[in-house]
């Protein structure tokens, strides 16, 4: 695990209450993997808040940058959204276990994301399309909340749904998935818990990996703020330490 001062290269609003931040550094961009996350210190310690866990939307090892997408939901992320290019952020990472990407050549893979769960799927999809047939289904609350549609479409076939029907398919991602006439060998999903539950149930016969955007405390396995019921000897897993990516067959949602 590395603690590094990283420099903001870009921090801009890309959708409703949604910001894209690119930060550069010497170490973390070289070591982080798809599905892992970083913990960002908020307010230089002055706000006396916990670090914020943010998932990685993209990694560029040449420019030594990582891209974070975050939703402004409280004082901490509001503070983050005010920061400008050149600001130094204290970053802890890489944290957690990322996605496993090993399938048979040519397999059909489904990628499903909902709202705040969409970002970690972007870098994953970039890697998957090199070897597999990938279909992406992304769900958002409303039209103004949609982001990264073009970025995903440049990679592969992408479907969008909105809860209120103001853009794309009206309804849930599972409605779109049920209309796809495809036989998937594996799936990946990241999003709010109700979405993960619905996708897990819908894809019950297909191996899959779920990434949890669970609210975290310490981020390093010490506080038990992030536990999820699981089919192991302990009866639970810690999202921050055992996840955030877990096999769908391991967890009880
Ligand atoms: Fe503390 Fe997971 S956030 S144990």
Query: What pLDDT is stored for residue 213 in this prediction?
Result: 78
Query: What pLDDT is stored for residue 82 in this prediction?
Result: 96
Which among 127, 159, 155 is positioned nearest to 146, based on CA atoms? Answer: 159
Length of the chain: 253
Cα(154) to centroid of ligand 1, in Å? 36
Q: Which amino acids bring their CB within 6 angstroms of ligand 1? A: 216-219, 221-226, 238, 240
Is 52 annotated to bind ligand? Answer: yes
d(CA 45, CA 36): 24
Pocket test for ligand 1, best of 1, 50, 53, 219 (most atoms within 8 A of CB): 219
Q: What is the mean pLDDT of residues 102-108?
A: 89
Strand 65-71 relative to strand 88-95, pairing:
unpaired
Is 226 annotated to bind ligand? Answer: yes
Query: What pLDDT is stored for residue 124 in this prediction?
Result: 98
Query: What pLDDT is stored for residue 18 in this prediction?
Result: 97
Query: What pLDDT is stored for residue 52 in this prediction?
Result: 87
* Cα 24 from chain centre: 19
Three-state secondary-structure class, residue 62: coil
Domains of the chain: 2-95 (2.40.30.10), 108-247 (3.40.50.80)
Three-state secondary-structure class, residue 146: coil
46 confidence band (pLDDT: 50, 70, 90)? low
Pocket test for ligand 1, best of 221, 228, 236, 242 (most atoms within 8 A of CB): 221
Query: What pLDDT is stored for residue 79 in this prediction?
Result: 93
Query: What pLDDT is stored for residue 219 in this prediction?
Result: 79
Mean pLDDT over the full length of the chain: 93
| Predicted-complex ipTM score | 0.98
pLDDT at 45 over 70: no
pLDDT at 51 over 70: yes
Strand 65-71 relative to strand 18-24, pairing:
antiparallel
d(CA 174, CA 165): 14
- Residues 13-23: tens digit of each pLDDT: 999 999 999 99
Is 240 annotated to bind ligand? Answer: yes
Percent of the chain with pLDDT over 90: 82
Is 246 annotated to bind ligand? Answer: no
pLDDT at 44 over 80: no
State which H helix or E strand residue 129 sits in. none
- Residues 199-248: tens digit of each pLDDT: 999 999 999 999 997 667 777 888 888 899 999 998 999 998 899 999 99
Query: What pLDDT is stored for residue 220 in this prediction?
Result: 81
């Amino acid at each position: 695990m590395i603690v590094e001062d990283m420099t903001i290269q870009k921090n801009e609003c890309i959708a409703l209450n949604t910001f894209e931040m690119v930060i550069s550094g010497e170490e973390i961009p070289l070591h982080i993997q798809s599905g892992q996350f970083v913990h960002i210190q908020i307010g230089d310690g002055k706000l006396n808040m916990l670090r914020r866990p943010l998932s990685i939307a993209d990694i560029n090892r040449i420019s030594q940058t990582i891209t974070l997408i975050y939703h402004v939901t409280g004082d901490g992320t509001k503070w983050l959204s005010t920061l400008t290019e050149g600001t130094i952020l204290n970053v802890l990472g890489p944290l957690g276990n990322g996605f496993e990407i090993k399938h048979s050549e040519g397999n059909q893979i489904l990628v499903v994301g909902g709202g705040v769960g969409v970002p970690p799927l972007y870098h994953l999809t970039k890697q998957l399309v090199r070897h597999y047939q990938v279909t992406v289904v992304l769900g958002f609350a409303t039209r103004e909340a949609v982001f990264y549609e073009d970025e995903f479409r440049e990679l592969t076939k992408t479907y969008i749904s909105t809860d209120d029907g103001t853009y794309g398919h009206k309804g849930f991602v599972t409605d779109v998935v049920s209309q796809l006439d495809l036989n998937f060998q594996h799936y990946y999903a990241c999003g709010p818990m109700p979405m993960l539950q619905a996708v897990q149930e819908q894809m019950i016969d297909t191996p899959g990996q779920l990434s949890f955007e669970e609210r975290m405390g310490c981020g390093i396995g010490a506080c038990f703020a992030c536990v999820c019921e699981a089919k192991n000897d302990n009866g639970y897993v810690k999202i921050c330490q055992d996840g955030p990516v877990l096999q769908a067959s391991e967890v009880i949602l």
